[in-house]
Amino acid sequence: MKTIRALTIAAALAAPLCWLSHPLWEVDDARYAQIPRTMLSTGDWATPRLNGFDYVEKPPLWYWLAAASYKAFGVTEGAARLPLALLSLLTAAGIWWLGSWLFPGSDQAAGPVVFSTSLMVLVLSHLITLDMALTAFLLWCTAMILRALARPEDAAWAGPLAWVFAGLAFLSKGLVALLFPVAWSVALVALFPALRRGWRGLLGPAGPLLFVVIAAPWFAAMEDRHPGFLRFFFVEQHFQRFLTPKYNRPAPWYFYAGVLTAGLLPWTSAALAGLARAWRDARAPAREWRGAALALWAVGVIAFFSVSRSKLATYILPAFPHLGLLAARALQEHPPRWSRRLAAALGAVLLAGACAAWLAGWGAAAALLPAKARLPDPALGPWAGGASAALGLGLLWWRRRPAGWIGPALGSLAACGLAFTGMARVETFVSAKALGLSIAARARPGDLVYSYGTFLHGLPFYAGRRVDRMVYWVGELHYALRDPANEDRFGDDNTIRSLPLRGRTVFVALRRSEAAYFRTLVRPEHLVSYEPFGRWMLAEVSHSPPRGGGE
């Protein structure tokens, strides 16, 4: 059993380092791989750029990490994701360190394993977003805050380090990196008298000074280069994003209930049991604060984004390390009956989903599914079914042996491996790699690349050239759009009607759903080829005679 336990721990910690070189997926994965590539090629490490536009919506720390990885290992998908894997491991290390002194005598491996094998973490340690960097640094920030509050004798080093990690988190995602720790610290001091002795250690001058030294220079440089940047970054990208539907990411207030249920698998019921215990302990006469502090952080993060007018599933990732520690604590006791029943119910649902996926893969259920729900490739069905079955069996194993974590962890790792193996079969439905490489092989100097109705963020990475005109797409390029110098980079139907351009071939990437309408905008004799790439089409428009091709 000790050997199986050791192998499970090793596999959980190694998982972020596996499958790093799979194609860049749309959208964020490709975007946050391309921006640092441009940073490295231009030598400008201050202003991030996307497709030749200034892209100042996010701070630069991730771009610096990925650009450094490119410089060290070359420009590849694996090098793009290597910092992401290391940040995931940094988070696991922080969970181990925090648990080692917060809950001495417990199984210290359980927390890192629970975090590393949660479904959302397994996915986001292989798909680039800025949330993993934010999560890693905020975890270490909160760990240092707790250390300073709980052990005032250590505040001389823990307090300043908390500010250092807050500064790194600020350079990863922005204002929430300061808002969350400050609000959480104030709540802890107000609610738990046992933690009030250490608050002065957090307010010494060294900590805030370190925060300013880390976080301020880039913002000052950007305001100097781009007057009005601070207003755009803080007012538009923070307050308007939170308070208004400007960025068109609406969802009901209960959106994250579903995200947590799925994202915490196979540990959903264990995390809920951990939250329940933390609540009971905090209400007891002894006012036990350890579990309550973790629960307060997780609930605060989830509540903040639940009332936001802009919601994405990845936003609540900073709650997962603390929920992982609570789940690990619950796993080492005899969990309440309701949590075991919930685990069994979730396992049964996953097994039913596995059966449905297998049937869909064989074509037996294809006629019963709506078009949007059908698998892009029926052969993906067995892989999706296998992943669901692995998770379901892991949950049922925990239902029978609720004091252990090996079975669910192995089930989650197996599910992740099956899922990524299966997704390789539908690469053209999630990645612009094939389309971009086709342009790279066919385009000549002077040819142009357009996008119509969409922008494939991985296209510049694989085509080795920018998209010259973006028709009916702005996305997050609001800052670039307001610059008059970029006016000719955007367009409408007349941009397509003006094709072909004498002496130049224009390659146009578009969605397959818009293919029929697009063909009405271009005279047939100028449509040299029209090829499908999964969800997208690539049109080649030129004065040259047609070479063939079609749908």
Per-residue pLDDT tens over the stretch 15-27:
999 999 999 999 9
How is the chain split into domains, by residue range?
Answer: 129-226, 244-322, 337-427, 432-541
More confident residue, 442 or 3: 442
Q: Please report the beta strands in 7-86, taking only residues with DSSP state E, as ranges in sequence order.
A: 49-50, 53-54
pLDDT, tens digit (0-9, with 9 covering 90-100), for 287-296: 789 999 999 9
**CA quadruple 288, 290, 291, 296: dihedral sign:** positive
Band of residue 487 on the pLDDT scale cut at 50, 70, 90: confident
- pLDDT at residue 96 tops 50: yes
pLDDT, tens digit (0-9, with 9 covering 90-100), for 493-536: 999 999 999 889 999 999 999 999 999 999 999 999 999 998 99
User: Taking a C-beta distance cutoff of 8 angstroms, is the pair 196, 148 a contact?
Assistant: no
Taking the C-alpha atoms of residue 93 and residue 130, their distance in angstroms, rounded to an integer, is: 19
Q: What is the pLDDT of residue 268?
A: 94
The single-letter DSSP state of residue 504 is: B
User: Taking a C-beta distance cutoff of 8 angstroms, is the pair 525, 543 a contact?
Assistant: no
More confident residue, 214 or 5: 214
Taking the C-alpha atoms of residue 180 and residue 304, their distance in angstroms, rounded to an integer, is: 9
Phi, psi of 450 (to 5 degrees): -115, 160
Instruction: Kindly report the pTM of this predicted structure.
Output: 0.93
Q: Which residues does 199 contact at the CB level (< 8 Å), separation at least 6?
A: 149, 185, 189
Taking the C-alpha atoms of residue 321 and residue 187, their distance in angstroms, rounded to an integer, is: 19
Q: Which class for 294: exposed (0-12), middle (13-18), buried (19 or more C-beta within 10 A)?
A: buried
- pLDDT at residue 88 tops 80: yes
User: Taking a C-beta distance cutoff of 8 angstroms, is the pair 271, 327 a contact?
Assistant: yes
Taking the C-alpha atoms of residue 303 and residue 82, their distance in angstroms, rounded to an integer, is: 31
Phi, psi of 491 (to 5 degrees): -160, -175
pLDDT, tens digit (0-9, with 9 covering 90-100), for 32-61: 999 999 999 999 999 999 999 999 999 999
Q: Which residues does 132 contact at the CB level (< 8 Å), separation at least 6?
A: 84, 87, 88, 91, 124, 125, 317
Q: Which class for 372: exposed (0-12), middle (13-18), buried (19 or more C-beta within 10 A)?
A: exposed
More confident residue, 332 or 320: 320
H-helix segments, 226-308: 229-230, 241-243, 255-263, 268-283, 290-307
How many residues are given for the chain? 551
Residue with tokens 């002795």: 197
Q: Please report the beta strands in 18-110, taking only residues with DSSP state E, as ranges in sequence order.
A: 49-50, 53-54
pLDDT, tens digit (0-9, with 9 covering 90-100), for 438-450: 999 999 999 999 9
Average pLDDT over residues 165-172: 98
Q: What is the pLDDT of residue 548?
A: 46
Reading the block at residue 334, the tokens are 């005899």
